[in-house]
């Protein structure tokens, strides 16, 4: 269908979630919210609404804006709705893997969508199947659904907490039952979830930018390990786990979140600008111009220019008619697609000493192509700067970022990277510098304030599936190819 280009060499978040309770425009608000969260997943989107009697559902491949036009209030009626944008970590790109998913439980209907990844999904799944559970998709979300369905507890929320005690990993989930909108966040708050208010309605969303688009006000973040239950009676908060400090994913600051979003009260844009300031202090180079890799590198490049006094220019132009990431996640597509997204602005680059600023380097493919493009446009020197530290470890909580063997910084020395990128110099922000830019003067080595394992190797949870998978490489999760 569409041959959108994509950010080949970026970490990919697999999901954005949204939910609303108490508005007759629930499904429309959800579509708008998902539209604002589109950067978190472009492969597919789904919305389920509830009108007091019946759940209605639509799930489509492609962008929200392409599928959820028309009169949504008629197609997806009701005062409550949840929605989901998906990239594709677990589960191949097929129709049966689109969230939210729905089931008729003993306690009534339940629809649920989640952002994140369970680190023991495979083990739980095998156990459930052995006990007669039927899986019709390959999504982690279906595991949660089964655990809720099989919980011996009576009340729905108790069942959900019961399920949360069995799963491990990073997740933020939204769900609706006949009477409630529910939000929940994993014990360390790896995946984001916030609460907003829109008139008399309550809203749950992955980021604050989804509140802004509908004119909702920010109330607070859902806390790590918290379950919120929103109903006509108002909001109830349940602490499903013993208290501990949160450890949210540091990549929300580095790349995932939209720059106009706020996380933990901090402007993402300002954090990225300060990362640029810090980067300039740590990795100065003499140059004529600071050029961002657009759009994600812009705030850090502005910060770099600010701190270094070297002028900022748009030396690379981004074609607007391509999505931020790809709709056809095939390897071939990835290779041919890239040249159509970025164009060199020769007038800025020719004969210049250029500092190229990007948010991060993952596999290095895109960086190499951009360097080559900038060089062919006449740059005299190219100094590549990454506004985050070297990525040397994979993620297991829902970020699609390549295996360790594909990570550029994990497989090359500094000198090898300089040589492969063909740049005059290469610099990364340091881990302490990153913490400083975010606003934490010092990283707490015993219990880091953020999940920063990609940079440091300190994983915040066990990785059961991963350990098992090493031994059990070939077993396929599902046998069905569905069209």
- Which amino acids are annotated as binding site for Mg(2+), given as ranges? 296, 358-359
CA atoms within 13 A on the CB side of 404: 10
> Residue 65, interface with a copy of itself (CB under 8 A)?
yes
Nearer to a copy of itself, 125 or 185 (CB): 125
Q: Which residues contact 155 (CB under 8 A, 6 or more apart)?
A: 107
**Is 97 exposed, middle or buried (CB count within 10 Å of its CB: 0-12, 13-18, 19+)?**
buried
User: By CB under 8 A, is residue 335 in contact with a copy of itself?
Assistant: no
The residue among 212, 217, 172, 213 whose CA lies nearest residue 190 is 172
In the window 17-56, what residues touch a copy of itself (CB under 8 A)?
Answer: 32, 35-36, 38-39, 42, 48, 53-56
Active site annotation includes 454 = no
Q: In angstroms, what is the minimal distance from the CB of 344 to a copy of itself? A: 7
> Residue 148 in 3-state DSSP?
helix
Q: What is the dihedral of CA 392, 397, 398, 400, to 10 degrees?
A: 20
Quick check: 157 binds a copy of itself (CB under 8 A)?
Answer: no
**Could you say which of 24, 199, 239, 314 contacts a copy of itself (CB under 8 A)?**
314
Q: Are strands 266-267 and 399-400 parallel, antiparallel or unpaired?
A: unpaired
CA torsion through residues 124, 37, 304, 337, sign: positive
Binding site as annotated, residues: 296, 358-359
Measure the CA–CA gap between 248 and 244, rounded to whole angstroms. Answer: 12
Nearer to a copy of itself, 294 or 432 (CB): 294
Using CB under 8 A as the binding rule, whether residue 473 contacts a copy of itself is answered as no
Candidate list 15, 209, 249, 454, residue with the active-site label: 15
Determine if 93 is a binding residue for a copy of itself (CB under 8 A): no
- Four-CA torsion 50, 55, 59, 64, nearest 10 degrees: -10
Determine, following the binding rule CB under 8 A, whether residue 270 of this chain makes contact with a copy of itself: yes
CB atoms within 10 A of CB 425: 16
Pick the closer one to a copy of itself by CB: 53 or 331.
Answer: 53
In whole angstroms, the minimum distance from the beta carbon of 370 to a copy of itself comes to: 14
Question: Does 156 help bind a copy of itself (rule: CB under 8 A)?
Answer: no
Question: Whole-number minimum distance, CB 276 to a copy of itself, in Å?
Answer: 12
Q: Which of 237, 335, 347, 414 binds a copy of itself (CB under 8 A)?
A: 347
Stretch that binds a copy of itself, among 115-123, 192-200, 224-232, 317-325 (CB under 8 A): 317-325
Residue 241 touches a copy of itself, criterion: CB under 8 A: no
Contact between 482 and a copy of itself by CB under 8 A: the answer reads yes
The reply on whether position 133 binds a copy of itself by CB under 8 A is yes
Torsion angle, alpha carbons of 397, 401, 402, 405, to 10? -90
Nearer to a copy of itself, 33 or 394 (CB): 33
Could you say whether residue 264 binds a copy of itself (CB under 8 A)? no
Of 237, 330, 335, 343, the one binding a copy of itself (CB under 8 A) is 343
Backbone angles phi, psi at 185, to 5 degrees: -135, 145
**DSSP characters over 83-94:** EEEE--SSS-S-
Token readout for 115 is 């952002």
3-state secondary structure of 21: strand
């Amino acid at each position: 269908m569409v041959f959108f280009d994509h950010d080949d060499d970026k970490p990919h978040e697999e999901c954005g979630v949204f939910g609303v309770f108490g508005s007759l425009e629930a499904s429309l608000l959800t579509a708008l919210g998902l539209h604002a969260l589109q950067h978190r997943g472009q492969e597919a989107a789904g919305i389920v609404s509830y009108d007091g009697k019946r759940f209605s559902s639509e799930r489509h491949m492609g962008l929200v804006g392409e599928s959820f036009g028309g009169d949504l209030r008629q197609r997806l009626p009701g005062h409550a709705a949840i929605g989901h944008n998906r990239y594709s970590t677990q589960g191949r790109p097929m129709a049966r893997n689109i969230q939210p998913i729905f089931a008729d439980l003993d306690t009534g209907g339940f629809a649920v969508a989640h952002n994140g990844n369970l680190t023991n999904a495979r083990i739980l799944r095998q156990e459930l199947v052995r006990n007669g559970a039927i899986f019709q998709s390959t999504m982690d979300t279906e595991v949660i659904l089964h655990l809720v369905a099989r919980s011996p507890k009576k009340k729905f929320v108790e069942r959900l907490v019961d399920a949360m005690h069995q799963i491990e990993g990073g997740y933020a989930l939204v769900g609706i039952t006949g009477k409630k909108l529910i939000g929940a966040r994993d014990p360390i708050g790896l995946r984001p979830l916030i609460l907003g208010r829109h008139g008399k309605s309550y809203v749950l969303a992955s980021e604050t930018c989804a509140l802004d688009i509908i004119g909702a006000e920010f109330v607070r973040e859902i806390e790590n390990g918290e379950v919120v239950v929103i109903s006509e009676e108002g909001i109830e908060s349940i602490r499903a786990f013993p208290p501990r400090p949160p450890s949210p994913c540091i990549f929300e600051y580095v790349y995932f979140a939209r720059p106009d979003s706020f996380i933990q009260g901090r402007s993402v844009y300002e954090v990225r600008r300060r990362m640029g300031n810090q980067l300039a202090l740590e990795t100065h180079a003499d140059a004529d111009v600071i050029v961002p890799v657009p759009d994600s590198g812009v705030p850090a490049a502005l910060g770099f220019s600010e701190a270094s006094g070297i002028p900022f220019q748009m030396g690379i132009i981004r074609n607007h008619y391509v999505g931020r990431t790809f709709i056809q996640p095939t390897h071939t597509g990835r290779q041919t697609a890239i040249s159509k997204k970025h164009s060199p602005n020769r007038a800025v680059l020719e004969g210049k000493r250029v500092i190229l600023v990007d948010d991060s380097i993952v596999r290095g493919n895109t960086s190499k192509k951009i360097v080559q493009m900038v060089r062919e446009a006449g740059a005299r020197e190219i100094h590549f700067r990454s506004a985050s530290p070297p990525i040397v470890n994979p993620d297991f909580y829902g970020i699609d970022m390549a295996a360790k063997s594909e990570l550029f910084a994990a497989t090359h020395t500094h000198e090898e990277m300089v040589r492969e990128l063909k740049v005059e110099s290469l610099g990364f922000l340091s881990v302490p510098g990153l913490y400083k830019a975010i606003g934490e003067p010092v990283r707490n080595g015993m219990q880091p304030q953020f999940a920063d394992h990609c940079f440091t190797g300190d994983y915040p949870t066990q990785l059961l599936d991963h350990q098992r998978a090493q031994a059990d490489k070939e077993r396929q999760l599902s046998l069905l190819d569905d069209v």
